[in-house]
Structure 1
Amino acid sequence: MPDLSPSGDSDAKTFALDTSLIPLGERALQSVLDHVVAVGDEAETPYLEVKSPLDMNSKATAAKIAKFLLGAANRRPGEAARHFHGYAVLVIGAQKNSAPGVPRGTEAHELEDRLRPYLGPQFPAFEFGRIGIDSDREVLFVIAQPPEDGQTIFPCHKSYQGDDRRDNLEDGAIYVRGASNTRPARSGEVLALVERVRRGGKPPIDLEVQLLGPICRVDRVEEVLESLRRSEEEEFTKQPTPAEDTVASTPLRLPSSIYGRPKPLSTKAREQALAAWQSKKAEHIAKGREHFLGVGLPGAGVRVVSHDRFVAKPHLILTFHNCEVLDYLDADDADFEKAVEPVLRPHNPFLSRYNYSAIRPLPRDYPVTWSTRGEDAEVVLTPESFRPNMPWSSDQDDYVIIARDPQASSVGVSWKLTEDGNDAVTSGELRVPTAPLIAAADLFESVFLSTTDEDLAGEASKP
């Protein structure tokens, strides 16, 4: 557990808070927490509020948080910008000389669901942070985004009556941040908010979009897979066929067939197995191609920068024209039999026939999805926000992008962005150079044959 108690003099000047920082990220939030622990309730200002440990599942706690967010959203942009670049922070689970925290497990989406009835459908998105205290407890941070000229006034949408009248909320009331608390707005403050609305809408979105990783080019993939299928068929047809009377006279399946190897097949059964395999050629090649390219090619991602503008709950669709997108697979998952379907697979009655390795579980509300639509690849990004001038990047182990034309030196990418609570659509285009052309035969050898050679060498070296 980190030492959060002040040593020696606890004077506020000793633990002065740098309000020129943006209160996002663990380092910035730690400095806020250190300040709160040093000075306690004295830390409270129009841009910072402190709550000792709360029951995060109670209606009273939801009302307290909603009241803070409503007050923070109804600030004047010029005054708010003097500290924390306009952000406001609610610290939950800290007090003077200690940070007991709250039990771990509070999820941002669950908290937002409880707050939404009070905040209304058009309320700006907020950030959510946490700092672990120990294995069971953490300090939570609710971070309101900067107010902007042109924003509407945000009234409360639901009443709440609690044991402490200071926490009460009234449907339709307008709350503002005072010197150290949130309270109903006075007439002059309401007029100031009306003036805020009149000063114009949000500035236009200026988005910079950049691809991370390559757009791959691979030549003669189907030709290589066809060749490997022919080799598989030749190997199968070369295998000796036991005499019919031998097969018929075998009363029980041999132990070897129980634990992996198929039982001997008659000539007719072998012909049927081969015919069934050949009838699924298109399906096998399609699946083999996905696996082969997924494990063999590097992944891609997207980097986004919103210049001088906070974008709340963005929905960004990128279209890679004349491309396809496949799941990225780790090189350790390379499986020759998934790339080249054998005529007969070994049978093991103790193993499920379901291919669990194909499952790629993603966290709830994962902000990246991808699919191939027609002749184009589509990637959709839905993060919580794009912060002003702070790059947001997706991981490069989600998908692989491949140009359909192996000779293309570049591909066109178009994008469309919408924002929560904003009907405007922002769009753009860029041209992205492709990676050097790769021969499918060379790629296949590097992925499968080199691994096989290493495995064989390792087996040979064993005593």
Structure 2
Amino acid sequence: MPDLSPSNDSDARTFPLDTSVIPLGERALRGVLNHVVDVGDEAEATYLEVKSPLDMNSKATAAKIAKFLLGAANRRPGEAARHFHGYAVLVIGAQKNGAPGVPRGTEAHELEDRLRPYLGPQFPAFEFGRIGVDSDREVLFVIAQPPEDGQTIFPCHKSYQGEDRRDNLEDGAIYVRGISNTRPARSGEVLTLVERARRGGKPPIDLEVQLLGPICRVDRVDEILENLRRYEEEKFTKQPTPAEDTVASIPFRLTPNVFRSPELSTEDREQALAAWQNKKVEHIAEAREHFLGVGLPGAGIQVVSRHRFVAKPQLILTFHNCEVLDYLDPDDADFEKTVEPVLRPHDPFSPSFGYSTIRPVPRDYPVTWSTHGEDAEVVLTPESFRPNVPWTSDQDDYVIISRDPQASSVEVSWKLTEDGNDAVTSGELRIPTEPLVDAADLFESVFLSTD
């Protein structure tokens, strides 16, 4: 970030504002911030408002932000599209010759909760951005989406009376953006908004959906896990040599100390073995998830909405005849989670709970995944899909596996719903699978590789 302190140099660099860009992402927002620091309040326009540091937890601040958003939502689409592709930006924590920022910690969902009483339940989604000033403070950006023909008028839903009457809000009032402020609409402006609402609904949603990463195929998983389990049992019962057919069925060499067990009485050993055998189904299911989670690459989804802003979408993708498992970091591979020992060595200082199995997921994380029957399902719930801007999920969330090891491709169907829109958009695609992997080779690469 450039130096934002005042300069006495008459040749100091200036930062003209490029309004031909979409004001989303750090690079674009830095351009907006540099311009605000350069010219201060003179930067304000129908598409840009500037606020010096505010108390982000106060009712007055919530009212200021709500007023800006209401005015931005009630703009005329044609005029709005001349700058920032129709977006409008509120900058909080910046002024001429400096950006003192506001204390870090403002969360988008908390801010939205405070704004909702003023905006109403059908108000369009807005974007939220930030640029750090130092370790304790940041500049915030509230970004209103472009207005569209067919949208209703957005009135204020709650009154607010503050110390500064310019910040007041009236229940039922209609606010619009003036040249450099937000104010109540005049009669002609209300009629223009009525006309906007009459000009048809939103254009249909045209979505491009692409899988990033593979749909995997693995053969002989249950067979290999079963053989490893038999080998563990025979080692535990202290047979001098495991049965020849068992050893022959394992196509890799295991070191003897892999299957060590503590010294026990004959009766205790029999009881331990019986308990271990009773949990066979549970053990193999857990072993399979861990083995494939650490052994296979993850997948993600890329979505592009063509020429259309989609507010608060829910996109459900169904991978037919597939399963989905948690992706696990290969460095977390644990042999004993793949081959459950009959008895685990007792360590009084080790925790009884495996904390490494916990995958912390942030609140409002926009991706969930689960297996339903014979199909894998991935649900995406981002804040929005922006026009012609790819939205991409991470590729370290889940692993997708075809249930049919011989399938050369998998059918994927999807359906999309949008907040405030009763229409359902759907589509289908067919995705090639990856080359078939033998579970024995996969096991060796995960647990026995010397690379």
Number of the residue aligned with 2:396? 397
Shift of 1:97: 1.1
Alignment CA distance shift 1:360-1:14 (3 Å): closer
Asked if structure 2 preserves the Cα contact closer than 8 Å seen for 1:6 and 1:38, the reply is no
Aligned CA distance change for structure 1 residues 152 and 230 (closer, same or farther; 3 Å): same
- Pairwise CA distance, 1:416: 0.8
Query: CA deviation digits over 1:397-451, x for unaligned, max 9?
Result: 000000000000001000111111111111100000000000000000110111x
Give the letter aligned to residue 423 of structure 1: D
Structure-2 residue corresponding to 1:158: 158
- The equivalent residue for 1:71 is 71
Match of 2:148 in 1: 148
- Matching residue's letter, 2:390: P
Q: Which residue of 2 aligns with 1:334?
A: 333
CA shift for structure 1 position 312: 0.7
Task: Tell me whether 90-99 or 271-280 shows the greater mean CA deviation.
Answer: 271-280
Q: Which residue of the partner structure matches residue 301 of structure 1?
A: 300
Alpha carbons 2:15, 2:31 under 8 Å: kept? no
Deviation at 1:10, TM superposition (A): 8.5
3-state SS in 2 of match to 1:238: coil
Contact 1:130 1:141 in 2 (8 A): yes
Q: For structure 1, which segment, 73-82 or 262-271, has the greater mean C-alpha deviation from structure 2 after superposition?
A: 262-271
Matching of residue 46 in structure 1 with residue 46 in structure 2:
yes
Letter in 2 for 1:32: V
- Spell out the pairing of 1:267-278 with structure 2 (5 A cutoff): 267-278=266-277
Quote the offset at 1:124 in angstroms: 0.3
In structure 2, the residue corresponding to 1:69 is in which secondary structure? helix
**How far apart are the structure 1 equivalents of 2:156 and 2:10?**
42
* SS state at 2:209 partner: strand
Give 1:120's aligned residue. Answer: 120
Matched, 1:380 2:413: no
Equivalent residue, structure 2, for 1:253:
none
Q: Distance in 2 between matches of 1:53 and 1:265?
A: 69
After superposition, what is the alpha-carbon deviation per residue over 1:30-65, rounded to whole angstroms, capped at 9, x for unaligned?
111111111111111111111111111000000000
Q: What are the equivalent positions in structure 2 for 1:35-434 lying under 5 Å apart?
A: 35-238=35-238, 264-434=263-433
Q: How far is the alpha carbon of 1:352 from its aligned partner?
A: 2.4
Judged with a 3 Å threshold, the aligned counterparts in structure 2 of structure 1 residues 135 and 2 are, in CA distance, closer, same or farther, namely farther
Question: Secondary structure at 1:293's aligned position in 2?
Answer: helix
Letter in 2 for 1:109: H
Work out the CA distance in 1 between the residues paired with 2:344 and 2:110: 46
Shift in Å, 1:210: 0.3
> Is the 8 Å Cα contact of residues 299 and 401 (structure 1) preserved in structure 2?
yes
How many residues matched?
431
1:359 CA drift (Å): 0.4
Structure 1 segments unaligned to the other structure (5+ residues) = 241-260, 455-463
What CA deviation, in whole Å up to 9, does each residue of 1:188-242 have, x standing for no partner? 00000000000000001000000000000000100001111111111111169xx
Q: Report Cα offsets for 1:337-390 as digits up to 9, x if no partner.
A: 100111111112222221111100011111111000100000011111100000
1:439 match: 438
Partner of 2:249: none
2:262 touches 2:343 (CA, 8 Å); kept in 1? Answer: no
With normalisation by structure 2, the TM-score equals: 0.93
Give the aligned residue type for 2:203.
P
Runs of 4+, deviation exceeding 2 Å: 5-11, 13-16, 261-264, 349-352
Q: How far, CA to CA, are the matches of 2:419 and 2:10 in structure 1?
A: 47
**Amino acid across the alignment from 1:53:** P
Give the aligned residue type for 1:321.
H
Q: Distance in 1 between matches of 2:271 and 2:65?
A: 68
8 Å contact 1:19–1:83 — kept in the other structure?
A: yes
TM (normalized to structure 1)? 0.91
State the SS of the aligned residue for 2:350. Answer: coil
CA distance in 1: counterparts of 2:2 and 2:347, whole angstroms: 52
Matched with 1:26 is: 26
Q: Residue 428 of structure 1 aligns to which amino acid in structure 2?
A: G
- Residue 236 of structure 2 contacts residue 261 of structure 2 at CA under 8 Å; is this kept in 1? no
SS in 2 for 1:445: helix
Distance between the aligned counterparts of 1:362 and 1:329, measured in 2?
14
**1:95-127 deviation per Cα after TM superposition (whole angstroms, max 9, x unaligned):** 111111111111111100000000000000000
Paired residues of 2:262 and 2:345 also in contact (CA < 8 A): no
- Flag the 1:331–1:347 CA change in 2: closer, same or farther, 3 A: same
1:264 CA displacement: 3.1
Deviations 1:253-310 (A, max 9, x none): xxxxxxxx97632212211211211121111111111110000000000000000000
**Percentage of matched positions with identical amino acids:** 86
Separation (CA, whole Å) in 1 of partners of 2:147 and 2:11: 33
- Aligned-partner Cα distance in 1 for 2:352–2:55: 47
